[in-house]
Amino acid sequence: MNKKMEQLGKAPSKIREIFEYGNKRRAEIGAENVFDYSLGNPNVPVPDVVKKTYSELLAAKDDVYLHGYTSAQGAPATRQAIADDLNAKYGTSFRADNFYITCGAAASLRIIFGALITPYEKAEVITFTPYFPEYRVFVQSAGAALVESQSDPDTFQIDFADLESRFTPNTKAVLINSPNNPSGVVFREESIIRLAALLSEKEKEYGHTIYLITDEPYRELVYDDTVTVPFVTKYYKDAIVCYSFSKSLSMPGERIGYILIPDEAAEAPDLYAAVCGAGRALGYVCAPSLAQHVIERCVGAVSDLQYYKKNRDLLYNALTEYGYTCVHPDGAFYLFMKALEPDASAFCEKAKEYELLLVPADSFGTPGYVRLAYCVTTELIERSLPAFKKLAESYR
Ligand code: PLP
């Protein structure tokens, strides 16, 4: 068998490991006594319009339409609805044919790397710390190397001096994720403008295209009027968007998202064909049809984000008051906190003594930090605060 795949299958996911530990503790001491901040599973209800649409569609009893194959790249009506929604929001002029519907952002990313990378050509993809650990899996399995650019350690925004030092003639793409998992940081417009200028410069220097891939499962999850998520295709011509409805509609299990290849991107028609080819080669054709029909009717809807805002404010304010150093999360539903000792895994073990389940951020490329997924009930956060206080006191 393929030894790399075997290793990947056997490698424990830290997040899953902690979640399983949580299940064990819940059985032992009761769910209300375990403060599990491990998993990024949205806990806000699916919007009513989505539930209603599922019910109405299922009542229509047109089984071939509902459950049959769509086009490999997704139903034209769904792709057009997504195009219309983005055009209304961002003043763009996308068409259905700019989109490939996928089983979520994970599939979008793996397909785009499959489309762009020829194995063994030594391609490199740069991303910024901290980053979603699966990036390494997606990039490496497509045959490229993932290159880490260290973000500014105070703000977790792009450190442009560091970024510049990471480019080589093999740089194929730069991958960003804003709002970010795990830091909650949103890249500001000035950063995107500067990034676009640097990428254009590097394209000229190396004489080939460098695509900017933007992984956006949290695009709508921002909580303050002062914070906006720039729509990257407006700033850089060779931008590719990998989107997911997993978080905005609280339906990660339905597996639905898309890849957007704008007409302006270099070699757009061939790139779109390569996306279709990679989707075909990976077996990622015809994303779940029922979810596609729902998206056609509900694109633009979002879950109740005020709930996450309330959780963010409660947790951030309390933890900083207890003396923890946290990155202020502008978006997503994660809080990134400095461990109270250099070894984040040891800190997480200590936290377990207070039934606090936190994830060490070593696999996110930023040792010494932990991630808290605050997509949990507000009551759980309230009940967990004394435990955080005791944990901080134990280090004094
Ligand atoms: N990218 C990031 C940054 C994520 O946090 C996640 C999931 O948590 C994904 C991609 C995968 O999302 P999906 O469920 O849409 O495959």
CATH number, domain containing residue 339: 3.90.1150.10
Distance between alpha carbon 100 and the CA centroid of its chain, in Å? 18
> Between vectors from CA 336 to CA 330 and to CA 339, what angle results, nearest 5°?
155
**Domain limits at 94?**
49-298
Residue nearest to atom 5 of ligand 1 (CA): 181
Count other Cβ atoms within 10 Å, centred on residue 324: 19
Residue nearest to atom 8 of ligand 1 (CA): 40
- pLDDT reported for residue 12: 74
In the reported structure, the alpha carbon of residue 322 is separated from the centroid of ligand 1 by a whole-number distance in angstroms of 31
DSSP 8-state secondary structure symbol assigned to residue 103: S
Residue nearest to atom 2 of ligand 1 (CA): 132
DSSP H or E stretch at residue 102: strand 99-102
Closest ligand 1 atom number to CA of residue 244: 15
> Does 149 lie in the same domain as 67?
yes
Does the CA dihedral 225-228-234-235 come out positive or negative?
Answer: positive
- Cα–Cα distances in angstroms (integers) from residue 287 to residues 50, 112, 153, 181, 257, in the given order: 18, 15, 39, 24, 9
Query: What's the residue count for the chain?
Result: 396
> Does 144 lie in the same domain as 36?
no
In the reported structure, the alpha carbon of residue 134 is separated from the centroid of ligand 1 by a whole-number distance in angstroms of 9
Q: How many domains does the chain have?
A: 2
Per DSSP (E only), the strands in 110-247 are: 124-128, 145-149, 171-176, 211-216, 239-244
DSSP 8-state secondary structure symbol assigned to residue 178: S
Count other Cβ atoms within 10 Å, centred on residue 244: 26
For residues 258 and 85, give the distance between their C-alpha atoms in angstroms, rounded to a whole number: 13
> Does 323 lie in the same domain as 219?
no
Which tokens is 264 given? 């302006």
Q: What are phi and psi of 136, to 5 degrees?
A: -60, -45
Which tokens is 356 given? 């606090």
> Does 380 lie in the same domain as 236?
no
> Does 288 lie in the same domain as 315?
no
pTM for this one?
0.96
Q: Quick check: CB of 216 below 6 Å from ligand 1?
A: no
> Does 330 lie in the same domain as 269?
no
Which tokens is 5 given? 């795949």
Beta-sheet strand order (sheet of 369-373): 326-327, 334-338, 369-373, 359-360
- pLDDT reported for residue 305: 92
> Does 39 lie in the same domain as 54?
no
Residues 179 and 331 sit within 8 Å (Cβ to Cβ) = yes
For residues 136 and 363, give the distance between their C-alpha atoms in angstroms, rounded to a whole number: 10
> Does 154 lie in the same domain as 17?
no
Domain boundary, last residue among 298, 330, 349: 298
Q: Quick check: CB of 177 below 6 Å from ligand 1?
A: yes
Domain boundary, last residue among 298, 313, 333: 298
DSSP H or E stretch at residue 360: strand 359-360
pLDDT tens by residue, the chain, 396 residues: 999 999 999 987 888 889 899 999 999 999 999 999 999 999 999 999 999 999 999 998 899 999 999 999 999 999 999 999 999 999 999 999 999 999 999 999 999 999 999 988 899 999 999 999 999 999 999 999 999 999 999 999 999 999 999 999 999 999 999 999 999 999 999 999 999 999 999 999 999 999 999 999 999 999 999 999 999 999 999 999 999 999 999 999 999 999 999 999 999 999 999 999 999 999 999 999 999 999 999 999 999 999 999 999 999 999 999 999 999 999 999 999 999 999 999 999 999 999 999 999 998 999 999 999 999 999 999 999 999 999 999 998
In the reported structure, the alpha carbon of residue 60 is separated from the centroid of ligand 1 by a whole-number distance in angstroms of 32
> Does 115 lie in the same domain as 204?
yes
Q: Quick check: CB of 125 below 6 Å from ligand 1?
A: no
Which tokens is 4 given? 């790399």
Domain boundary, last residue among 261, 283, 298: 298
Q: Quick check: CB of 217 below 6 Å from ligand 1?
A: yes
For residues 112 and 213, give the distance between their C-alpha atoms in angstroms, rounded to a whole number: 9
- Of the candidates 301, 283, 314, 330, the one whose C-alpha atom is nearest the C-alpha of residue 384 is 314
Kindly report the CATH number assigned to the domain that includes residue 112: 3.40.640.10
For residues 275 and 110, give the distance between their C-alpha atoms in angstroms, rounded to a whole number: 10
Q: Is 26 exposed, middle or buried (0-12, 13-18, 19+ CB in 10 A)?
A: middle
> Does 151 lie in the same domain as 36?
no
For residues 112 and 350, give the distance between their C-alpha atoms in angstroms, rounded to a whole number: 40
> Does 191 lie in the same domain as 261?
yes
> Does 129 lie in the same domain as 206?
yes
Residue nearest to atom 12 of ligand 1 (CA): 105
Which residues have CB under 8 Å from 283's CB, separation 6+? none
Runs of H (alpha helix) within 323-377: 344-352
> Between vectors from CA 211 to CA 266 and to CA 259, what angle results, nearest 5°?
85
For ligand 1, pick from 102, 132, 254, 364 the residue to mutate: most ligand atoms within 8 Å of CB: 132
Count other Cβ atoms within 10 Å, centred on residue 318: 17
Closest ligand 1 atom number to CA of residue 132: 3
Q: How many CA atoms lie within 13 A of 4 on its CB side?
A: 7
